[in-house]
Amino acid sequence: MQPTLVVMAAGMGSRFGGLKQMETVTENGESLLEFSVFDALRTGFSRIVIVIKKAIEKEFMETVGTRLAKQTDKITYEYQELDDLPGGRKPPEGREKPWGTGHAVLAAKDAVVTPFAVINADDFYGRDAFATMAKFLSDSPDGYAMVGYKLNNTLSEHGTVARGICEIKNGFLQTLTERTKIKKTKNGAAYTEDGERWIPLPDDTIVSMQLFGFLPEVFNRLEEGFSDFLEHNKDPLKGEYLLPGRIGELVAEGSATLRVLESDAQWFGVTYREDKPSVVKAIENLRKNGVYPPSLW
């Protein structure tokens, strides 16, 4: 059974200052999301589920959606909405921020019946990463997986980034800790929790870029975690239910195993608007080297 790819594309892009999921990175107007769809469909994924929100649906469909129209039979759209909450709950008054990546994956629940991978819409993961994950998912896994990247290859020159810091033993994840403020310094990478003290991180630290692989049963575990998050959330207007955090909990308590897959794939992304020129240049070079055709669709 060929796996499904879930693309999380409902974020607000606060660091970027706009909707990164629709940002063009080529002269043809293509987005990073489209390169992920292109690679996934050529490496073993049979269906794509794109999670957006209704507030951006019109703009999304008129841009990215129009270009993906030739793949309509392989693509499903689902919606991440603030009021999609369990137990009859209502979103707090004044809440505008989406509930986070864990909630985004739950939005795809009704559209996924096979093993599946999850990615961000605004990251470039590389074709080898999709091929590696598709092979894992197609071989009837009995656990979860992720493609890991070296921290120094995932930082921005223009500000802090959020990354899932991984501790690995014998190819399996031991802990996954979400650090929301990591930056480059003169002495290498460092993170802060209070905005004042910066704690060094080795450049070769393996991090999660949210290219995960799961079996459909993970939805039940995500639902349980989301209910618990809502019950104990101390920041009703901005608190987020993060996918790496929930997976880290499951691994830590011993109720799930997660294999860290090796890949030679190149990652890059647009955390900040100032990152875009280097991403555009990287795409141009890949096309010059024949990795991608002059037009994806």
Q: What tokens were used for 65?
A: 């959606």
Name the token pair of 280.
């555009």
Tens of each residue's pLDDT in the chain, 297 residues? 799 999 999 975 554 445 678 899 999 999 999 999 999 999 999 999 999 999 999 999 999 999 999 888 999 999 999 999 998 899 999 999 999 999 999 999 999 999 999 999 999 999 999 999 999 999 977 789 999 999 988 998 899 998 989 999 999 999 989 898 999 988 899 999 888 899 999 999 999 999 999 999 999 999 999 999 999 999 999 999 999 999 999 999 999 999 999 777 778 888 888 999 999 999 999 999 999 999 999
pLDDT tens, residue by residue, 81-134: 999 999 889 999 999 999 999 999 999 999 999 999 999 999 999 999 999 999
Contacts of 32 (CB under 8 A, 6+ apart): 20, 23, 25, 121, 122, 123, 124, 269, 270, 279
pLDDT tens for each residue of 12-32: 555 444 567 889 999 999 999
pLDDT value for 79? 97
Which CATH number is 4-150+206-242+257-288's, of 3.40.50.1820, 3.90.550.10, 3.40.190.10, 3.30.70.990? 3.90.550.10
DSSP labels for 37-68? HHHHHTTT--EEEEEE-GGGHHHHHHTHHHHT
pLDDT on residue 16: 43
CA-based nearest residue to 137, from 211, 71, 194, 79: 211
Where are the domains positioned within the chain? 4-150+206-242+257-288
In 3D space, the residue among 59, 58, 60, 55 whose CA is nearest the CA of residue 96 turns out to be 55
- φ/ψ of residue 192, rounded to 5: -135, 150
Nearest Cα to 205, choosing from 260, 276, 254?
Answer: 260
**Nearest to 35, CA basis, from 101, 112, 123:** 123
Of residues 157, 178, 194, the one with CA closest to residue 252? 178
CA 254 to chain centre: 24
pLDDT of residue 89: 93
- Write the DSSP string, 103-147: HHHHTTGGG--S-EEEEETTEE--HHHHHHHHHHHHT--SSEEEE
